[in-house]
Amino acid sequence: MALALKSAFFRAQIRAQTISHRNPSLISPSIVRLKSSTVMASLEVAQTRSISETFSKLKEQGKVALIPFITAGDPDLATTSKALKILDTCGSDLIELGMPYSDPLADGPVIQAAATRALAKGANFDSVISMLREVVPELSCPIALFTYYNPILKRGVERFMTIIRDIGIHGLVVPDVPLEETEILRSEASKHGIELVLLTTPTTPTERMKAIVEASEGFIYLVSSVGVTGARASVSARVQSLLQDIKKATSKPVAVGFGISKPEHVQQIAEWGADGVIVGSAMVRLLGESTSPEEGLKELETFTKSLKAALP
């Protein structure tokens, strides 16, 4: 939060300087003071904690985080904006927002289809950012962006981080960048106060898992099964032992994702000791495949509440 304050003040100064640069006659201390108080006022509305802080708070309260995932732009950006608000008010502790991409190789058919629909509708990085700029100040929970690496490279890592930080994004998940390739991402992310979340999976050997959990920020994303995203009938029992192994290696929070689609799953994973549960395809399907956006939003609300109820 301190970081958010600092950068907001910095931005206010820049804005004040810009104004005075354009019109020298406007140089006046009162303008700067006015800007600062406006910034303070807007800060009181948009008080989102960082991801780490969110988890710390939940731990104090003995709670497990509910982390929904939806794809931006499916069925359309206006619906995504409404969906984010609904997810927030229904008790989500953190929301993952997926940027639609042409070749999502970690994603199964549901999220692939959502990405294709979103792209066909014209969603792109700029339009998603514009949508977020409007809605993030109204959310009480932090947002983490889920994107593949190429769109980040396209803009340049530094510029990408600046843009997302500017609109109040707190975290980033990049599924096609393994630990060895994260050096630049991590250094730019940390310069901009973005937490880069890393993934560990059932095929990751223990020594490697330890290096990953050491480097991950915000939380550790434990992939529940060997595969791509997509609802599964049940959660693999391996998750329990994987959680135990990770907990031996670190005190950082661990959230489990991929395949989780029912309140029973969510409850089971919470019982096994996870600090958070990520639900993606099940949410995406509700929104994208319903008879109308309004219907989809209603179903999303009901579903989210049922998941929240299953969690401590």
Partner 1 sequence: MATSISLRNPNVSLGTTFPIARFASPRSSIVTLRMPGESMACPPPLATTAPSAAVETVPIGERPDRFGRFGRFGGKYVPETLMYALSELETAFETLSKDQEFQRELDGILRDYVGRETPLYFAERLTEHYRRADGTGPHLYLKREDLNHTGAHKINNAVGQALLAKRLGKKRIIAETGAGQHGVATATVCARFGLECIIYMGAQDMERQALNVFRMRLLGAEVRAVHSGTKTLKDATSEAIRDWVTNVETTHYILGSVAGPHPYPMMVREFHTIIGKETRRQAAEKWGRAPDVLVACVGGGSNAMGLFNEFVNDKEVRLIGVEAAGHGIESGKHAATLTMGEVGVLHGAMSYLLQDDDGQIVEPHSISAGLDYPGVGPEHSYLKDIGRAEYYSVTDVEALDAFKQLSRLEGIIPALETSHALAYLEKLCPTLPDGTKVVLNCSGRGDKDVQTAIKHLQL
Sites of contact with partner 1 (CB under 8 A): 101-109, 112-113, 116, 119, 124-126, 148-155, 175-184, 198-205, 207-208, 211-212, 223, 226-228
Looking at the Cβ atoms of 39 and 106, the one nearer to partner 1 is 106
Least distance to partner 1 from the beta carbon of 130, Å? Answer: 14
Least distance to partner 1 from the beta carbon of 39, Å? Answer: 32
Least distance to partner 1 from the beta carbon of 264, Å? Answer: 23
Question: Any catalytic annotation for residue 299?
Answer: no
The Cα 215–Cα 172 span in angstroms is 14
Question: Any catalytic annotation for residue 103?
Answer: no
Do 293 and 76 form a contact (C-beta atoms < 8 A)? yes
Q: Which residues contact 219 (CB under 8 A, 6 or more apart)?
A: 51, 52, 55, 197, 252, 253, 254, 255, 275, 276
Q: Say which of 93, 107, 188, 195 is annotated catalytic.
A: 107
Q: Say which of 74, 88, 93, 96 is annotated catalytic.
A: 96
Looking at the Cβ atoms of 189 and 228, the one nearer to partner 1 is 228
Do 132 and 167 form a contact (C-beta atoms < 8 A)? yes
Do 19 and 32 form a contact (C-beta atoms < 8 A)? no
Least distance to partner 1 from the beta carbon of 96, Å? Answer: 16
Give me the phi and psi of 273, to 5 degrees please. 110, 10
Looking at the Cβ atoms of 107 and 217, the one nearer to partner 1 is 107
Looking at the Cβ atoms of 101 and 303, the one nearer to partner 1 is 101
Q: Strand, helix or coil at 77?
A: helix
User: Which positions are catalytic?
Assistant: 96, 107
